[in-house]
């Protein structure tokens, strides 16, 4: 691992499909062995960046370097990267083993060796006994693992993953997140992971780039992005956040600028109970949503803003029957994040 020779280096990467820039001057270094996520809403340019790295698209301007070599003008097959797509793109008429061995075959690896390596790759994703099946005889999660085995069998330096868990139900998705992380550690490959699911990005990544309108709005570790969002967009997009606009900050916090407070940093209490934080605002308890181990409480503040509060059930101070009642939301000043400082 070397800082001046990152696994991926993007400089001034721009892609226009006509109207406006889908990707707009992206500079990025991804370190070798990193689990790196590109997170952003639909249409923010994540997939296009991935396709530019893979070579499926040509940039309008800017460069893509892999392991210190400028590959901007190289064809996809001539780049040391591999892609796992959301729909897996498995060949339906081939067996699972042949699907996994395919990349080795086109690279001219002999039958015996490629079957050996394909079997080993299937073992890694815990599908050792499934080589003879056709993709149609597998579950969604199993197909997804075959796609991973197929992409990793050729031992690429970089693996690009475009919403690879998007087609799975929640339970399987959570299970596959863990497996994906383990697989990445085991193989030591650089992962570039595209998702619009902030929780998935926070759970899996070493670092995250938050995309908005073709640009990187914030780059950092999950904790940096969650605890110190640098813009209202990041604060609102990553996790749930109560964002106080300039005007509301003046009214509720007594100072200008844009501030945010995470739901789990706030409590809802009765007006007559002692104040538990050094900041508070009154309002009406609009909703109480039971989430299992915690509860989400929605309060419409008198100041004209709706806040979301999330409390552990054993720490709750108001009951469900208080829906519609006047309450106080309290929090501490140190949990108030300055998103944009007062000018």
The footprint of ligand ATP (CB under 6 A) covers 17, 22, 40, 42-48, 196
| Beta bridge partners of residue 323, listed in sequence order | none
Distance CA(325)–CA(118), nearest Å, equals: 63
**Partners of 64 in beta bridges:** 10
User: Min. distance of Cβ 209 from ligand ATP in angstroms?
Assistant: 11
How far apart are CB 84 and ligand ATP at their closest, in Å? 15
Of 196 and 328, which has the nearer Cβ to ligand ATP? Answer: 196
Interatomic CA distance for residues 114 and 107, integer angstroms: 10
Minimum separation from the CB atom of position 38 to ligand ATP (A): 8
**Burial tier of 261 (Cβ tally within 10 Å: 0-12, 13-18, 19+):** buried
**Strand 81-84 with 158-162, pairing:** parallel
B/e letters for 84-117, b = 16+ CB within 10 Å, e = fewer, are bbbebebeeeebbbbbbbbbbeeeebeeeebbeb
The CA distances from residue 168 to 19, 121, 142, 243, 301, in Å, are 34, 21, 10, 32, 38
Q: Is 232 helix (H, G, I), strand (E, B) or coil?
A: helix
- Between 58 and 273, name the residue whose CB sits nearer to ligand ATP: 58
Report the residue number, 60 or 276, with the smaller CB distance to ligand ATP: 60
22 or 202, CB closer to ligand ATP? 22
**Rounded Cα distance, 132 and 138, in Å:** 11
Residue in 11, 303, 62, 91 with CA at minimum distance from that of residue 100: 91
Residue 209 and residue 34 in contact, taking contact as beta carbons nearer than 8 Å: no
| Identity of the residue, 130 or 193, whose beta carbon is nearer to ligand ATP in the bound complex | 193
Nearer to ligand ATP, 61 or 139 (CB): 61
Minimum CB separation of residue 13 from ligand ATP in Å reads 12
CA distance to 143, 168, 207, per residue, from 201 (Å): 22, 16, 9
Smallest gap from Cβ 58 to ligand ATP, in A, equals 12
When the beta carbons of 194 and 248 are compared against ligand ATP, the nearer one is 194
Closest distance of CB 14 from ligand ATP, Å: 12
CB count within 10 Å of CB 257 equals: 16
Residue 275 backbone dihedrals phi, psi, to 5 degrees: -70, 130
Q: What is the nearest approach in angstroms of ligand ATP to the Cβ of residue 208?
A: 14
Residue 19 CB, shortest distance to ligand ATP, in Å, is 8
20/92 with CB nearer ligand ATP:
20
DSSP state of 275: P
Q: Which helix (H) or strand (E) holds 11?
A: strand 8-16
From the CB of 18, what's the least distance to ligand ATP, in Å? 7
Whose Cβ is closer to ligand ATP: residue 46's or residue 117's? 46
């Amino acid at each position: 691992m070397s800082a001046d020779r990152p696994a991926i280096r993007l400089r001034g990467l721009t892609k226009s499909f006509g109207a406006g820039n889908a990707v707009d001057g992206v500079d990025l270094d991804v370190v070798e062995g990193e689990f790196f996520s590109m997170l952003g809403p639909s249409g923010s340019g994540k997939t296009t960046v991935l396709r530019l790295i893979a070579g499926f698209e040509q940039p309008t301007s800017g460069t893509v370097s892999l392991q210190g070599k400028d590959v901007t003008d190289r064809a996809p097959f001539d780049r040391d990267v591999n892609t796992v797509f959301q729909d897996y793109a498995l060949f339906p008429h081939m067996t699972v083993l042949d699907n996994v061995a395919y990349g080795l075959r086109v690279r001219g690896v002999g039958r015996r060796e490629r079957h050996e390596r394909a079997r080993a790759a299937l073992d890694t994703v815990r599908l050792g006994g499934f080589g003879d099946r056709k993709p149609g005889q597998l579950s969604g999660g199993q197909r997804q693992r075959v796609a991973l085995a197929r992409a990793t069998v050729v031992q690429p330096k970089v693996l690009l993953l475009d919403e690879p868990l998007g087609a799975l139900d929640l339970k399987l998705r959570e299970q596959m997140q863990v497996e994906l992380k383990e697989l990445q550690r085991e193989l030591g490959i650089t992962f570039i992971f595209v998702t619009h699911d902030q929780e998935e990005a926070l759970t899996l990544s070493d670092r995250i780039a938050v995309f908005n309108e073709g640009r990187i709005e914030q780059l950092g570790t999950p904790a940096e992005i969650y605890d110190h969002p640098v813009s209202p967009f990041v604060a609102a997009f990553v996790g749930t956040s109560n964002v106080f606009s300039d005007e509301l900050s003046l009214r509720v916090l007594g100072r200008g600028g844009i501030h945010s407070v995470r739901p789990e940093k706030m409590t809802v209490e009765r007006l007559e109970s002692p104040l538990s934080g050094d900041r508070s605002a009154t309002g009406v308890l609009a909703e109480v949503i039971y989430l299992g181990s915690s509860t989400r409480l929605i309060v419409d503040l008198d100041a004209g803003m709706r806040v979301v509060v999330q409390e552990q059930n054993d720490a709750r101070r108001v009951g469900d029957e208080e829906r519609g009642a006047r309450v106080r939301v309290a929090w501490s000043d140190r949990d108030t994040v300055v998103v944009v400082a007062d000018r």
